[in-house]
Amino acid sequence: MDPIRNPYTPNAGERPDVLAGRDGQIEQYNVLLQRVSRGRSARSMIITGLRGVGKTVLLGKFRDTSLEAGWTVIEHEAAKHNDNAFRREMGLRLRTALFDLSPRARWTERYHRAAAAISAFSVTIDASGQVKAGLDLTDPVEGLADHGDLPMDMTDVLVALGAAAQEKSSGIALLLDEIQFLSRSQLESLIMALHKTVQRALPVVLVGAGLPQVPELAGDAKSYAERLFTFPVIGSLSGTDAHEALSGPAAAEQVRIDDDALARAFEVTGGYPYFIQELGSAAWSKAEHSPISLDDINDAAELYLAKLDESFFRVRLDRTTELQTAYLRAMAELGPQPHRASEVAVLLGRESTQLGPTRAELIDMGLLYTPQRGLAAFTVPHFDQFMLRAVPELLVPQVRRRRR
Ligand SMILES: Nc1ncnc2c1ncn2[C@@H]1O[C@H](COP(=O)(O)OP(=O)(O)O)[C@@H](O)[C@H]1O
Ligand SMILES: [Mg+2]
């Protein structure tokens, strides 16, 4: 059918025409925002799920909701950055938020204070003690966000910015994606800061989204986190929601999908949002006319796999070393479920201690996560099947001795 009217959205973070099965999280965010706007307490959210389940899309929805409520949004996609780079990145976004709340000409005392906090926050000191100038927004305030301690400085900044937003009856929504890449200290600093804004009943909310592997917290941050956040997990859609995700966008274009076609599509995609969009898009291009039939879905399945293989799956494998690839391939041999390191090691003819670093690297890269101590699983749904297609034979790399 007409490619111009193809309504599906098989791209990372792309808002789907029908956002299916997420009413619970959307409602929860609305309540959070409205309560905090009224100076009441409510728990912020840390959302986790595998790749392609719709975390980024959900954050995008929260962004819209926040803007409609007259809030200022700080969006940040976390990367593996040291604390200095993290300060600089956050500093720039905090500065944008400040100007968003009020142009400099109308700054009150609270705004100058927030500006001073952001300036001090973005000053960095490297390992050799060299000080690098930060943003210069206003005169510094001694003792404000200049402690050189990330949690203390982050707290000063969020409190000052929250207070400035409050004066305008606005608020600050911090929406952080890929939080598995934050270091423990970075995540802890955000939690400590949020703890303070909650105590002061300031209009600040934080939503983090990431892979199931969220950095393990320690000490105070850990106990605060349990009280400050709820931890929704999102995943594949139920049968009804998956049907809605596939048939809804077509219906808006006056195209129907047969029931047996919907059922087959659910089998193929497992109800994973990304896969639904990719299959929908392929079926649209294969079908000649409405309704989209079971045959159309079957015809589209090959194109669907080819598309996924060359984009969604392939990019994950592009950066892996030979040993990492062998490790993933061995996991795939064992099936889609989580596996013990020892089982994988047996297939590769090695001791699990020898493979420990490889496993750790794959977790670090966001390809594997540990659902439970001692277990590792793929972060990408259906990745096992992809590995079997991409690397047909089990790889058993030669043992190379480390030189000392
Ligand atoms: N609730 C949903 N219903 C239908 N499609 C969705 C839904 N959530 C996400 N999608 C689609 O799934 C894909 C992946 O979404 P994305 O937010 O990038 O996932 P993640 O951030 O979890 O990897 C995109 O193509 C998006 O259009
Ligand atoms: Mg994402």
Q: Please indicate, yes or no, whether residues 199 and 51 belong to a single structural domain of this protein.
A: yes
Angle, helices 259-269 vs 273-286, to 10°: value is 130
Is there a domain that residue 89 lies in? yes
Note the ligand closest to the C-alpha atom of 244.
Answer: 1
Is there a domain that residue 404 lies in? no
Q: Please indicate, yes or no, whether residues 100 and 203 belong to a single structural domain of this protein.
A: yes
Q: Please indicate, yes or no, whether residues 183 and 277 belong to a single structural domain of this protein.
A: no
Q: What is the mean pLDDT of the chain?
A: 94
Quick one: pLDDT at residue 396? Answer: 83
| Of 276, 291, 316, the domain-final residue | 316
- At residue 64's C-alpha, the angle toward residues 47 and 185, to 5°, is 40
Q: What is the mean pLDDT of residues 218-233?
A: 90
Is there a domain that residue 297 lies in? yes
Q: Please indicate, yes or no, whether residues 299 and 360 belong to a single structural domain of this protein.
A: no
Q: What does the block give as tokens for 327?
A: 């490790």
Residues with CB under 6 A from ligand 1: 9-14, 16, 19-22, 49, 51-57, 245, 273-274, 276-277
- Among 61, 62, 277, say which to mutate for ligand 1: greatest number of ligand atoms within 8 Å of CB: 277
Number of the ligand 1 atom closest to the C-alpha atom of 8: 27
Inter-residue contact 61 to 33 (CB < 8 Å): no
CA distance 376 to 18: 33
CA 381 – ligand 1 centroid, Å: 13
Q: Please indicate, yes or no, whether residues 189 and 50 belong to a single structural domain of this protein.
A: yes
Is there a domain that residue 283 lies in? yes
| Of 179, 204, 230, the domain-final residue | 230
- Among 57, 179, 380, say which to mutate for ligand 1: greatest number of ligand atoms within 8 Å of CB: 57
Q: Please indicate, yes or no, whether residues 221 and 337 belong to a single structural domain of this protein.
A: no
pLDDT digits (tens, 9 = 90+) for 252-304: 999 999 999 999 999 999 999 999 999 999 999 999 999 999 999 999 999 99
Note the ligand closest to the C-alpha atom of 279.
Answer: 1
Residue 404 has pLDDT above 60, yes or no: no
Note the ligand closest to the C-alpha atom of 241.
Answer: 1
Domain extent for 290: 245-316
* 3-state SS, residue 393: coil
Secondary-structure breakdown of the chain: helix, strand, coil percentages, each rounded to the nearest 5:
55, 10, 35
Quick one: pLDDT at residue 402? Answer: 56
Is there a domain that residue 2 lies in? no
- CATH for 380: 1.10.10.10
Strand partners, 375: 340
Residue 96 has pLDDT above 90, yes or no: yes
Q: Please indicate, yes or no, whether residues 209 and 80 belong to a single structural domain of this protein.
A: yes
CA distance 28 to 19: 15
Residue 334 has pLDDT above 90, yes or no: yes
Structural domain total, the chain: 3
pLDDT digits (tens, 9 = 90+) for 54-86: 999 999 999 999 999 999 999 999 999 999 999
